[in-house]
Structure 1
Amino acid sequence: MNKTSILTLATAFMAVGAFAQQKDKLAQDKAAIKNMCGCMDVTFEYTETFPTDSNYKPKGYHKTDGALEYVTVVEDKNNRIILQHLLLAGGEVIKHWTEDWQYENRNLLVYNKDQQWKNITLPAADVKGQWTQKVFGVDDEPRYEGSATWVHADGRHYWESTSDAPLPRREYTTRNDYNVLTRTNHHEITNWGSVHEQDNLKVVRKDGEKDVTIVGEKGVNSYRRVEESKCQKAKDWWQNNQQFWALVRRGWEKLYGENNTITLERKVNDKSLYSVMNTLEKKALNKEIAGAALETEINTTLKAFAAANKDLTIKR
C-alpha cells in the first residue's frame, strides 16, 4: 500500500470515528434533556442583585415552594424533543410552561420589546452541534428562545444560553420600570433531578437608544425527583387535555410561519388570551366543540391576539 492510500485510509477512519463520537454526543444530549422529566418537588427562588443606580432599592427576595411539577415528553422524533410542564398547586393542575428542544435549528423567534417578536434565520455554522430551547408560556405563547451546546464534562451535564424575553409573569402586572428581561438560562442535571439557574438583567429598551440595565436578578429553580404516584392527578389531566394543546401548538407554529413579525396583544375584547383559551379548553373537554371546528376556533383566537408588524427592527 502506497503512502497516498495509507493517508486516505487514515482519513476515512478518522471520519468514521468523528461520526461515531457525534452520534454518542447526540445521544448524551437527548438523555440529558429527557432526564429533566418526572414528578418533581419544585422551588422557585428570585432575588434582585447589583442595581446600576445607587438610588434604586432592590425589590427583595421572592420564594415559592411546596408545589409539585410533572414534566413529560410530548414529542421525541427527528431530533426534536418537546417537554410539557404541569404544575400541581392547591389541589389543582395548571398547564405550566413548554420546552421545545430542536437540534441544529436555524430558525428563532427573537424578542425585541413591548410584546414584539421577529423570526430570524441563523447561519448553519452558528448552530452546528447546538440545541435550541424554545420556551412557551401557559397558553403556549412565546417567552424566549436560545441556542447553545450541551456540555458533558467532569461528570457534569449542562446547557446555557442568553436571550431576551418579556417580563416574567410574577412581575408583568406590577412593574413598568423596565420592558425587557435579558435572561441567561443554565440547565444542569443533578443526582436528585435538575436545577434551572438564571442570571438576568432588567433592561429599559427604547427605539434608537442604547439599552439601560436597571438591576440584575438571580434565579434558582430546583426540581427534586419524588415518587411518580404523587403526580398522578397531573398525568390524568394531561391524558384528557393533550390533544387540545397539540392543536394550540400547531396553530402557533402556523402563525409564526405566516408572519415574519408579530406583536402580542394583552387583551382582545377586554379578555386575556388565558381566559379565552381556558374557555375553549373546557369546551373541548366537554366535547361541545371538536375536530375542524375546534381547530378553526383556536387559530382564529391566536390570530386575534397576534397582530403582524412588518416594520419591526430587532436589536440583538
Structure 2
Amino acid sequence: MHRKIVSLAAASLFALASTSALAHPPIAERPAQEEAAAFEADRADILAMAGNFKVRFDMQEATPWQSGYAPLDRKISGGHEVVRVIEDSGRRIVLQHILVSEIDGKPHITKHWRQDWEYEPARVLVYSDRNAWTWEDVPEKMRRGRWSQTVWQVDDSPRYAGWGQFEQQGGLRRWRSNWTWRPLARRDAVRNPVYDRYYAINRHQPTPDGWVHWQDNIKMGMKDGRLQPIVQEYVLNTYTKFDGYNVKAADDYWAATKGYWAAVRAGWDKVAATKGGIAIQEEAQAGTIISARLLTIADEIVEGKLTEAKGTAEALKLIDDNTRMTGAKQVASAGR
C-alpha cells in the first residue's frame, strides 16, 4: 500500500512539474552585447546577496484549500545572518549563509542554508518524493539566459532546486523560479501536519538596503490516494544590511571549518553523481538523520576535539552509509 501511495504521489509530481514548464516561454535570442550585459547584471544581483544582514522571517498561512482546515497564525521571527561568496567561477556562484545569535552573552554560530547559482544548466537536482532528490533535465530551449538555484540544508544535503530568469517589471528586477517541489521545513515537520511537502514559486529581488526572498507555497498532502492542496502560505524573508552584531564570530567559524565543509559538499556531489541523485531518510527535527552529527563534527573541529582529517573521514562515511540509489538509478541498474 505504501508503494502505491508513493507511486501515485510521484505521478502527481511529474504531471504538475510538466505543466509548470509551459508557463515560462523560451528567452528569444539577443545580440551578443545585450546577452553579455544581461549576464553581468544577473551576476551582480546574485553577488549582492552576500554581506552582513539583519533578517526578518514572515510566514503566513492564508487561504485554506480544504474544507475545515484552519490556517496557522502568522509567525514572525528574525536574526542576524552573514552571507559569503565561497565560489565564483563566472557561470557558477555559491553563497553560504551563517546565522549568528547569542547565548549567555556568547556568540552562537549556526551554519545555515546554502544557495548555488548556475547559468544555463543542463539539469538540476530536484525534490522528487519523500526522502529522495533526483536529476531533472532542464528543457534545452528553456536554458538560454536562465539561472538555476539549488538550495541546500544546514548539513549540505539537498533541499530544493529550480530554474528561472531575471526579469524587470515596473522598474524592478527580480529572479523568479519555475514551480518547484520542496520537503517540509522544520517549523512544519515537527508538528506532523496533514500536508507533507510544498509546491512553490521562489523569488529573489534586490532592495535599496539588501534583498528579499519571497516564497509562494502550496502546502500539499495525500488525500483519497492523490496529492491535493491543503493551504496557501506566503513567506517573505527580508535581508537588511547591518553590521551591529558579532560578524567576526561567523567568519572565524568559517575559516576553521571551510575545508571540512568543502569535503562534505564533495561527498554529497559524489553520491548525487553515482547514485542517480540523493536518497536519505529525513528527520523532522534536523532535516536528515545525519544532519546533527555532521554539524557537531564541525563544532568539534573548531574546539580542537577533532582534526579536520578525522572529522572529514567520519562525515564522508556517514554520507555514504546513509544514502542509497534513487528509484531511477535502481531501475537502470536492474535493466543491465
- Structures share fold, TM-score greater than 0.5: yes
Q: Is the 8 A contact 1:180 1:204 kept in 2?
A: yes
The aligned amino acid for 1:96 is H
Q: Is the 8 A contact 1:166 1:179 kept in 2?
A: yes
Q: Report Cα offsets for 1:117-154 as digits up to 9, x if no partner.
A: 21122232221111000000100111100000112455
Q: Report Cα offsets for 1:46-84 as digits up to 9, x if no partner.
A: 01111012311111111112x111111000004100001
1:259 aligns with 2:259: no
Q: Is the 8 A contact 1:41 1:225 kept in 2?
A: yes
Match in the other structure for 1:53: 66
Match in the other structure for 1:75: 87
d(CA) in 2 for partners of 1:306, 1:257: 12
The number of residue pairs the alignment matches comes to: 292
Shift of 1:92: 0.9
Shift of 1:310: 2.6
Q: Specify the structure having the higher radius of gyration (Cα).
A: 1
After TM superposition, the structure 1 stretch with the greater mean CA deviation from structure 2, 197-206 or 41-50, is 197-206
1:158 aligns with 2:174: yes
d(CA) in 2 for partners of 1:184, 1:133: 12
The aligned amino acid for 1:236 is D
Q: Is the 8 A contact 1:41 1:226 kept in 2?
A: yes
Structure 1 residues 261 and 250: alpha-carbon distance in aligned structure 2, compared to 1, 3 A threshold: closer
Give the alignment of 1:234-313 within 5 angstroms.
Answer: 234-266=250-282, 272-285=289-302, 286=304, 288-291=306-309, 294-311=311-328
The aligned amino acid for 2:324 is A
Match in the other structure for 2:205: 188
The aligned amino acid for 1:304 is D
Shift of 1:264: 1.5
The aligned amino acid for 1:27 is E
CA RMSD of aligned residues (A): 2.3
Shift of 1:31: 0.2
Q: Report Cα offsets for 1:195-248 as digits up to 9, x if no partner.
A: 111110110148x95420010101110001013775222122211111111111
Structure 1 residues 238 and 198: alpha-carbon distance in aligned structure 2, compared to 1, 3 A threshold: same
The aligned amino acid for 1:165 is R
d(CA) in 2 for partners of 1:160, 1:78: 20
d(CA) in 1 for partners of 2:243, 2:300: 32
Give the alignment of 1:109-258 within 5 angstroms.
Answer: 109-152=125-168, 154-161=170-177, 162-205=179-222, 209-227=225-243, 230-258=246-274
The aligned amino acid for 1:75 is E
Match in the other structure for 1:8: none
Shift of 1:301: 0.9
d(CA) in 1 for partners of 2:41, 2:275: 35
Task: Write out the 4+ residue segments of structure 1 that deviate beyond 4 Å after TM superposition.
Answer: none
Q: 1:19 aligns with which of 20, 24, 32?
A: 32
Q: Which runs of 5+ in 1 are unaligned?
A: 1-14
Q: Is the 8 A contact 1:165 1:182 kept in 2?
A: yes
The aligned amino acid for 1:19 is A
* Identity across the alignment (%): 29
Secondary structure at the counterpart of residue 138 of structure 1? coil
d(CA) in 2 for partners of 1:159, 1:104: 14
Q: Is the 8 A contact 1:118 1:312 kept in 2?
A: no
Q: Report Cα offsets for 1:142-187 as digits up to 9, x if no partner.
A: 1100000112455322111120000012111212311111121111
Structure 1 residues 153 and 58: alpha-carbon distance in aligned structure 2, compared to 1, 3 A threshold: closer
After TM superposition, the structure 1 stretch with the greater mean CA deviation from structure 2, 125-134 or 108-117, is 108-117
Match in the other structure for 1:36: 49
d(CA) in 1 for partners of 2:329, 2:226: 17
Secondary structure at the counterpart of residue 186 of structure 2? coil
TM value normalised by structure 1: 0.85
TM value normalised by structure 2: 0.81
Q: Is the 8 A contact 1:43 1:64 kept in 2?
A: yes
Q: Is the 8 A contact 1:100 1:133 kept in 2?
A: yes
The aligned amino acid for 1:115 is N
d(CA) in 1 for partners of 2:168, 2:243: 27
The aligned amino acid for 1:73 is V
Q: Is the 8 A contact 1:261 1:310 kept in 2?
A: no
The aligned amino acid for 1:89 is S
Match in the other structure for 1:11: none
1:108 aligns with 2:147: no
d(CA) in 1 for partners of 2:77, 2:299: 28
